[in-house]
Amino acid sequence: MIKKSVICFFVLICFSAIKANELNSNDQIRYQSLIQEVRCLVCQNQSVAESNAELAKDLRREIKLQIQDGKSNSEIKKYLLDRYGEFILYEPAFTQKTLFLWFSPIILLLMFYGWFRKIGN
Amino acid sequence: MIPELGQVFLVAALASALLQFLGGIGLFSRKNENIEAFIERITMFQTFSLLICFGLLTTAFLQDDFSVLYVASNSNTALPFAYKIAAVWGGHEGSLLLWVLILSIWTFLLSKDRALKSSPDLRIQSLSILGLISFGFLLFILYTSNPFERLLPSPIQGRGLNPLLQDPALVIHPPTLYAGYVGLAVPFSLAVSSLLTVNNHQWAMHARTWTVLSWVFLTGGIALGSWWAYYELGWGGWWFWDPVENASLMPWFLATALMHSLIVTEKRGIFNGFSTLLAITAFSLSLLGTFLVRSGVLISVHSFASDPQRGLFILGLLAFFSGSALIIYSIKQKKNKQEKLHPLSRESLLLLNNVFLCASAGLVLIGTVYPLILEMLDLGKISVGPPYFNFVILFPFIPLLFSIGVAVFSNWSNDSKNLINKVSPIILIALMLGFAFTFIYGWDSLLTLIGVFLALWTILTGISPLIKNRYSINKSTNIIPMMLGHIGLGIMILGITVTSSYGITFDDSMNIEQTSTVGDYEFKLTEIGKRNGPNYLAQYASIEISKDGQYVETVYPEKRVYDTSSMPMTEAGIEANLFRDLFIAVGEDIGGGSWSMHLQYKPLLRLIWYGPIIMILGGLIRVFLGKKQTERHQ
Shortest Cα distance, chain B CAs vs residue A73, angstroms = 14
pLDDT tens-digit map of B155-164: 888 888 887 7
Shortest Cα distance, chain B CAs vs residue A79, angstroms = 16
pLDDT tens-digit map of A19-63: 445 677 788 889 988 999 999 888 878 888 888 788 988 999 999
For the ranges A42-46, B143-147, B294-298, B382-386, the lowest mean pLDDT is seen at B294-298
The answer to whether residues A90 and B388 touch, using CB atoms and an 8 Å cutoff, is: yes
Greater confidence (A18 vs A103) lies with A103
Q: Which residues contact B602 (CB under 8 A, 6 or more apart)?
A: B236, B499, B503, B580, B581, B582, B583
Q: What is the pLDDT of residue B563?
A: 80
* In the predicted structure, residue A12 carries a pLDDT above the cut 70: no
To 10 degrees, the CA torsion angle through B375, B378, B379, B384?
Answer: 0
- Please give the average per-residue pLDDT across B282-294, as a whole number: 89
- Please give the average per-residue pLDDT across A69-96, as a whole number: 92
Shortest Cα distance, chain A CAs vs residue B367, angstroms = 7
Shortest Cα distance, chain B CAs vs residue A39, angstroms = 8
**Residue among B362, B367, B506 whose CB faces A28 most closely:** B506
The residue in chain B having the minimum alpha-carbon distance to the alpha carbon of residue A87 is: B382
Q: What is the pLDDT of residue A17?
A: 41
Q: What is the pLDDT of residue B256?
A: 97
Average pLDDT, chain B: 90
Quote the CA–CA distance of B473 and A110 in Å, as a whole number: 32
- Please give the average per-residue pLDDT across B281-304, as a whole number: 79
Residues of A in contact with B442 (CB under 8 A): 1-2, 5
Quote the CA–CA distance of B66 and B87 in Å, as a whole number: 13
pLDDT tens-digit map of B543-580: 999 998 899 999 999 988 888 777 788 889 999 999 99
Q: What is the pLDDT of residue B207?
A: 95
Q: For chain A, say whether B435 makes contact (Cβ under 8 Å).
A: no
The residue in chain B having the minimum alpha-carbon distance to the alpha carbon of residue A25 is: B506
- Among candidates A1, A80, A73, which has minimal Cα distance to A32? A73
- Please give the average per-residue pLDDT across B101-119, as a whole number: 94
Asked whether the beta carbons of residue A109 and residue B441 sit closer than 8 angstroms, the reply is no
Q: For chain A, say whether B341 makes contact (Cβ under 8 Å).
A: yes
- Please give the average per-residue pLDDT across B179-190, as a whole number: 96
Shortest Cα distance, chain B CAs vs residue A108, angstroms = 6
Per-residue confidence at B53, pLDDT binned at 50, 70, 90?
very high
* B162, B383, B413, B559, best to mutate vs chain A, most A CBs in 10 Å: B383
Q: What is the pLDDT of residue B58?
A: 96
- Please give the average per-residue pLDDT across B370-384, as a whole number: 91
pLDDT tens-digit map of B8-40: 999 999 999 999 999 998 888 888 889 999 999
DSSP B340: P
**At residue B357, what is the residue type?**
L
Q: What is the pLDDT of residue A9?
A: 47
- Please give the average per-residue pLDDT across B31-60, as a whole number: 95
Residues of B in contact with A28 (CB under 8 A): 506-507
Shortest Cα distance, chain A CAs vs residue B352, angstroms = 7
For the ranges A85-94, B191-200, B620-629, the lowest mean pLDDT is seen at B620-629
* B164, B338, B355, best to mutate vs chain A, most A CBs in 10 Å: B355
pLDDT tens-digit map of B185-225: 999 999 999 999 988 889 999 999 999 999 999 999 999 99
Q: What is the pLDDT of residue B185?
A: 97
For the ranges B30-34, B147-151, B389-393, B581-585, the lowest mean pLDDT is seen at B30-34
- Please give the average per-residue pLDDT across B323-347, as a whole number: 83
Chain B residues 361-420 with CB within 8 Å of chain A: 362-363, 366-367, 370, 374, 379-388, 392, 395-396
Asked whether the beta carbons of residue A101 and residue B370 sit closer than 8 angstroms, the reply is yes
**At residue B562, what is the residue type?**
Y
The answer to whether residues B612 and B226 touch, using CB atoms and an 8 Å cutoff, is: no
Domain formed by A2-90, architecture: Orthogonal Bundle (1.10)
How many other C-beta atoms can be found within 10 angstroms of the C-beta atom of residue B316?
A: 13
Burial annotation B559-587 (CB, 10 A radius, 16+ → b, else e): bbbbebbeebbbbbbbbeeeebbbbbbbb
Asked whether the beta carbons of residue B343 and residue A105 sit closer than 8 angstroms, the reply is no
Q: For chain A, say whether B505 makes contact (Cβ under 8 Å).
A: yes
The residue in chain A having the minimum alpha-carbon distance to the alpha carbon of residue B341 is: A120
Asked whether the beta carbons of residue A50 and residue B519 sit closer than 8 angstroms, the reply is no
Strand pairing category for B550-555 and B536-547: antiparallel
The answer to whether residues B541 and B597 touch, using CB atoms and an 8 Å cutoff, is: yes
Instruction: Reduce the DSSP state of residue B395 to 3 states and report it.
Output: helix
Q: What is the pLDDT of residue B299?
A: 65
Greater confidence (B540 vs B634) lies with B540
**Residue among B234, B385, B505 whose CB faces A39 most closely:** B385
For the ranges A13-22, B73-82, B121-130, the lowest mean pLDDT is seen at A13-22
Q: What is the pLDDT of residue B474?
A: 52
- Please give the average per-residue pLDDT across A86-99, as a whole number: 92
CA distances from B203 to A22, B33, B121, B260, B330 (A): 64, 20, 11, 14, 18
What percent of chain B clears pLDDT 90, i.e. is strictly above it? 62
Shortest Cα distance, chain A CAs vs residue B200, angstroms = 17
Asked whether the beta carbons of residue B348 and residue A89 sit closer than 8 angstroms, the reply is no
Shortest Cα distance, chain B CAs vs residue A89, angstroms = 6
The residue in chain A having the minimum alpha-carbon distance to the alpha carbon of residue B587 is: A52
Q: What is the pLDDT of residue A119?
A: 76
**Residue among B381, B382, B387 whose CB faces A98 most closely:** B382
Q: What is the pLDDT of residue B405?
A: 92
Q: What is the pLDDT of residue A21?
A: 56
Residues of A in contact with B395 (CB under 8 A): 105-106, 109
For the ranges A102-106, A116-120, B59-63, B487-491, the lowest mean pLDDT is seen at A116-120
Asked whether the beta carbons of residue B362 and residue A104 sit closer than 8 angstroms, the reply is yes
**Residue among A15, A98, A112 whose CB faces B359 most closely:** A112
Q: For chain A, say whether B503 makes contact (Cβ under 8 Å).
A: no
Q: For chain A, say whether B594 makes contact (Cβ under 8 Å).
A: no
Asked whether the beta carbons of residue A1 and residue B570 sit closer than 8 angstroms, the reply is no
Backbone angles phi, psi at A25, to 5 degrees: -65, -40
* In the predicted structure, residue A88 carries a pLDDT above the cut 80: yes
DSSP A39: B
Q: Is residue A70 exposed (0-12), middle (13-18) or buried (19+ Cβ within 10 Å)?
A: exposed
ipTM: 0.84
- Please give the average per-residue pLDDT across B308-333, as a whole number: 90
Residues of A in contact with B441 (CB under 8 A): 1
DSSP secondary structure, B575-617, as one string: EE-SSEEEEEEEEEE-STT-EEEEEEEEETTTHHHHHHHHHHH
H helices of B468-602, in order, are 479-502
Shortest Cα distance, chain B CAs vs residue A93, angstroms = 9
The residue ranges of every structural domain in chain A are 2-90, 95-121
pLDDT tens-digit map of B450-494: 999 999 999 999 998 877 555 444 555 568 899 999 999 999 999
Quote the CA–CA distance of B312 and A121 in Å, as a whole number: 41
Phi-psi region of B64 (alpha: psi -120 to 50; beta: other; left: phi over 0): left
- Please give the average per-residue pLDDT across B369-390, as a whole number: 92
Asked whether the beta carbons of residue B242 and residue A8 sit closer than 8 angstroms, the reply is no
- Among candidates B136, B344, B102, B364, which has minimal Cα distance to B250? B364
Q: What is the pLDDT of residue B337?
A: 60
Strand pairing category for B536-547 and B521-532: antiparallel
CA B197-B203-B204 angle, to 5 degrees, is: 150
Q: What is the pLDDT of residue B331?
A: 92
Which three-class secondary structure string do you get for B113-171?
A: CCHHHHCHHHHHHHHHHHHHHHHHHHHHHHHHCCCCCECCCCCCCCCCCCHHHCCHHHH
- Please give the average per-residue pLDDT across B222-236, as a whole number: 86
Residues of A in contact with B243 (CB under 8 A): 45
Asked whether the beta carbons of residue A36 and residue B386 sit closer than 8 angstroms, the reply is yes
Q: Is residue B143 exposed (0-12), middle (13-18) or buried (19+ Cβ within 10 Å)?
A: exposed
Q: For chain A, say whether B529 makes contact (Cβ under 8 Å).
A: no
Quote the CA–CA distance of A18 and A12 in Å, as a whole number: 10
* B164, B398, B507, best to mutate vs chain A, most A CBs in 10 Å: B507
Per-residue confidence at B632, pLDDT binned at 50, 70, 90?
low
* In the predicted structure, residue B357 carries a pLDDT above the cut 50: yes
CA B379-B380-B384 angle, to 5 degrees, is: 110
What percent of chain A clears pLDDT 70, i.e. is strictly above it? 80
Asked whether the beta carbons of residue A87 and residue B235 sit closer than 8 angstroms, the reply is no
Per-residue confidence at B307, pLDDT binned at 50, 70, 90?
low
Greater confidence (A50 vs B250) lies with B250
Per-residue confidence at B340, pLDDT binned at 50, 70, 90?
confident
Asked whether the beta carbons of residue A112 and residue B362 sit closer than 8 angstroms, the reply is yes
Asked whether the beta carbons of residue A8 and residue B381 sit closer than 8 angstroms, the reply is no
For the ranges B76-80, B108-112, B300-304, the lowest mean pLDDT is seen at B300-304
HSE, side-chain direction, 13 A CA sphere, residue A117: 5
